[in-house]
A = this chain, B = another copy of it.
Amino acid sequence: MSLHISEKTALMPSSAIRKLVPLSDAAEAKGIKVYHLNVGAPDIKSPDCAINAVMERCAGMHHLSYTNSAGLIQLRRDLVEKYYRKIGIDIEVSELLVEVAGSEAFASAMQIAADRGDEIIVIEPYYTNYQTFAYLNGITLKAVHTSIENDFAIPDISEFEALVTDRTRAVLISNPCNPSGKLFTKEEMLKIGDFCKRHDLFLISDEVYREFCYTDEPHFSAMNIPGCEQNVILVDSVSKRYNLCGARIGCIISHNKEVMAAALKFAQSRLCPPVLGQYAAIGALDTPQSYFDEVKKEYIARRDCAVRMLNAIPGVKASMPYGAFYTIAELPIDNAEDFCRWMLAEFSHDGATTMVTPAAAFYKTPGEGKNQVRVAYVLEVGELEKAINTLALGLEQYLQSR
């Protein structure tokens, strides 16, 4: 025998979103400015009340102790009363548990729903880390396909039915969707809920972008599908909602007592969620509605800018997103990953380049998304314009150099 790492970790795919980071680090080390449209890391100001809450707790603090594995009781109560009840999601404190961001919440939810060899139905394109945690836990993702050609509309429920086997355990959706920006209608949610009930499947609903919706209709949460109370596991983020990504605070919510008991066992195994982040989250819950109204206006301006400019590039087709802060763009190339690498390693214009994410890893179906990229419109309009102009120039030069 020789010393080698486990097969599981050797074969584990690198994050599609983060694996090009060494190339952008190298570009930045050479003095090149990189416009980061690759990660959903907004530059929007965090609410003052969140940051102030951290400072107030720190002032005169004796020691920073563990909290309950489920999170500080004040945070759990405040989440229920100041946020969920206000937006029409009616839950008890015992039906919510604080997680290390949305990431831990869906990783736990997937394991609670499915054993090794079991299957979870997803809608492609999907958030790539769903695949990572499926891989790590021996769960197979089966994908219902949606297409940029018709704005990622959810197909007839018969396409879900066609994927059901005796190992199917859950449907996992992201609404609004990262990466497509698709916002599910109430009607679509009711149909998916009905499908889950008929087949006794969990419905894991990742709603971390709930407050980033750009239509006049309110977001319809899976928690409000009538009769689906025992099926739904809600995955949510506090840090994303309040532009506090670094706080790493999210939650898992379910009316299903078995689910919550299992979630607590996972939570206890990592002792407690980050406590300074929990303080920020408690403070954030006092954020006024006007903050979200401003943020929404800002993202609509950015989205409109990104979609307009992308579609103006010859051969490029970008979809119109109705939520989250991503759009999928189809480029007139064969291999978007090669292009993204080239943009970082070989191209710059006026000392700058643009980083976007190759989209193939958001799809299960082989070959799908190979000519697509995910563009995160997370810069203010002036910077976004420069970033997309730089992308357009890079694309032109890339095409000429082939």
Contact = CB atoms under 8 A, between A and B. Distances in A.
A61 interface: yes
Contacts of A169: 6
A32 interface: no
A6 B114 contact: yes
Nearest to A269: B132
B55 A201 contact: no
Interface string A2-34: 111111111011110111010000000000000
Contact of A63 (B43, B61, B259, B273): B43
Nearest to A248: B274
A66 interface: yes
A335 interface: no
A15 B65 CA distance: 19
Interface string A213-234: 0000000000000000011000
B259 A273 contact: no
Nearest to A243: B63
A255 to B, nearest CB: 12
B248 A275 contact: yes
Interface string A252-291: 0000101100100110111111111100100000000000
Interface in A30-60: 39, 41-46, 50-51, 54-55, 58-59
A355 interface: no
A162 interface: no
Interface residues of A, number: 89
Contact of A101 (B5, B68, B132, B271): B271
A102 to B, nearest CB: 9
A185 interface: no
A46 B136 CA distance: 36
A133 interface: yes
A63 B46 contact: yes
B199 A1 contact: yes
A245 interface: yes
A232 to B, nearest CB: 11
B2 A200 contact: yes
A113 interface: yes
Given A202-B3, A262-B12, A18 B69 contact: yes
Contact of A6 (B14, B115, B201): B115
Interface in A76-106: 100-101, 103-104
A223 to B, nearest CB: 16
A235 interface: no
A59 B51 CA distance: 8
A294 interface: no
Contact of A59 (B42, B55, B262): B55
A311 interface: no
Interface of A: 1-10, 12-15, 17-19, 21, 39, 41-46, 50-51, 54-55, 58-59, 61-69, 100-101, 103-104, 107, 111-116, 118, 129, 132-133, 136, 138, 166, 169, 199-202, 230-231, 239, 243-248, 256, 258-259, 262, 265-266, 268-277, 280
19 contacts: A2-B200, A3-B202, A3-B231, A8-B115, A9-B262, A9-B265, A18-B268, A45-B63, A54-B58, A64-B246, A64-B247, A100-B274, A104-B270, A136-B269, A246-B272, A247-B276, A248-B271, A248-B275, A274-B274
